[in-house]
Chain A
């Protein structure tokens, strides 16, 4: 019994692939429509997850940069350093002298010419704090405390922007979900209509099959597979579009990174995400086909039993 079941499914899959191949242009166009519709939320998802990775990196090690007054002497700096080292909230303290900072800037930013032309170093000495407690309130309290100390020009919470970005990204994620849901409906509509046309053109086959004892699942099966395959083809198309988009975008990002001296690169969709996309597309195709075939089998008058 299971063998019969399996062989009938395999035969249906084979026949369905054959059917897809017999009308390559029409089915390709269907796949493109679905692919474009899916590429939109999928692409947005890729951009968002890249930004998320970036912000997670930044907010995982929240640091407080303490910029000292430019006129501070070495003694002033040493005193502040000592005071911070003894502070109970400080886990680790880093020190970047103004000469070091300038050297680093010259090396990394490509602004060497501009820096050469400066008469004196415009950068202050900086102390970088790794706090023991990394919650936003604790960090803000520490920042407010240090800000009032003499010799301190400015205190910056490096993770603030990351937190704001995180909040924005949550909003973005919601937009992706909404978009995905809306365009998922588009996918269902495309398969619904495709299957409707197929049911109409295959009325005779359906009627004869019924008369020779075909069950409803047997009649539905090829249409459901067709819907799923159309969905998968659209998913592959969307994956390809996103991959191509990332590739092109990284091309222009490379120039941008060279100009700004930072390594910017979009990571393409992961295998897991890609396969989820295919499964999602296949499921929606199946759903659209199922809605369509149930509705049109009932309406087309060939529903003899």
Chain B
């Protein structure tokens, strides 16, 4: 469960990225966070992952108050999350398999169990045949799917994706949408920041719309 209560985020330069945001995402829900670029979508996801901290207000993730977590506790919060970044953040010095194995390695999975899970995740996104390939040799869509495999390999309870269909053609975007739906169907809470109308039309999620850092109910109603 994710719960924002009167959350404001002001960056040090004085820019207000989020203004008085309150909403709740229940377990197993799929939610889209929409809005123009600069509306605060990425900041919202960063607050959930404790990459940024709120200036005021409370962010609860799985019952834990992110703001009061000690630095030592934050890694353990993040192990419940699967993060997909706009720029993928793949590691180009290692092959597909090792990229996906990283979260399991961090948690401390035994080698054989880790290999089994890595292959299951790669199979899920259709990259099983490319486990030995280096990320640089993959297409944009394949890199995106690799990032998704890495985000779900440790079976997180919450999947956060920032513009997952950006820079992909519509056909690929549709495939990714089906993938996210399949995760949601097995009980994963999915939060996707996007302004992809087609994806929204396909998945028909609940929409949280942001405009200039504030919630916009009319925009949300229009999108839904």
Residue numbers of A with Cβ under 8 A of B are 3-5, 7-8, 11, 204-205, 207-216, 218, 304-305
Contact = CB atoms under 8 A, between A and B. Distances in A.
Contact of B89 (A3, A5, A211, A216): A211
Interface string B74-101: 1111110101000001011100000000
B108 A212 contact: no
B118 to A, nearest CB: 14
Nearest to A215: B75
Interface in B56-73: 71-72
Contacts of B92: 204
Given A213-B76, A218-B106, 18 more contacts: A3-B110, A7-B110, A7-B111, A8-B108, A204-B89, A204-B92, A207-B89, A208-B91, A210-B75, A211-B51, A211-B89, A212-B103, A212-B154, A213-B79, A213-B107, A214-B75, A216-B71, A305-B74
B50 interface: yes
Contact of A11 (B75, B91, B105): B105
B106 A209 contact: yes
Interface-centre pick from B49, B50, B74, B108 (highest chain A CB count, 10 A): B108
Contact of A208 (B102, B107, B111): B102
A212 B106 contact: yes
A208 B72 contact: no
Contacts of B49: 211
B108 A7 contact: yes
Interface residues of B, number: 27
Nearest to A211: B83
Nearest to B51: A304
A45 to B, nearest CB: 42
Given A211-B78, A212-B78, A213-B78, A205 B91 contact: yes
Interface of B: 49-51, 71-72, 74-79, 81, 83, 89, 91-93, 102-103, 105-108, 110-111, 150, 154
12 contacts: A7-B108, A8-B108, A208-B89, A208-B91, A208-B102, A210-B75, A211-B49, A211-B83, A212-B102, A214-B106, A305-B74, A305-B75
Contacts of A214: 75, 106
Nearest to A207: B89
Contacts of A218: 106
Contacts of B79: 212-213
A204 B85 CA distance: 13
Tell which of A204, A213, A214, A215 has the most Cβ of chain B within 10 Å. A213
A7 B110 CA distance: 8
Given A7-B108, A208-B89, A215 B83 contact: no
Nearest to A304: B51
Contact of A215 (B50, B72, B110, B111): B72
Contacts of A208: 89, 91, 102
A83 to B, nearest CB: 84
A11 B108 CA distance: 10
| A-B interface, 4 closest residue pairs, ranked by CB to CB distance from nearest | A4-B108, A213-B79, A213-B78, A212-B103
A208 B151 CA distance: 11
B75 A213 contact: yes
B109 to A, nearest CB: 8
Nearest to B107: A213
Contacts of A4: 108, 110
Contacts of A211: 49, 51, 78, 83, 89
A7 B49 CA distance: 28
B69 to A, nearest CB: 9
Task: Count chain B CB atoms within 10 A of each CB in A5, A8, A211 and give the residue with the most.
Answer: A211
A208 B91 CA distance: 8
Nearest to A204: B91
Contacts of B154: 212
Contacts of B76: 213
Contacts of A8: 105, 108
A8 B102 CA distance: 12
Contacts of A204: 89, 91-92
Contacts of B102: 208-209, 212
A14 to B, nearest CB: 11
Nearest to A11: B105
A4 B150 CA distance: 21
A232 B106 CA distance: 27
Nearest to B74: A305
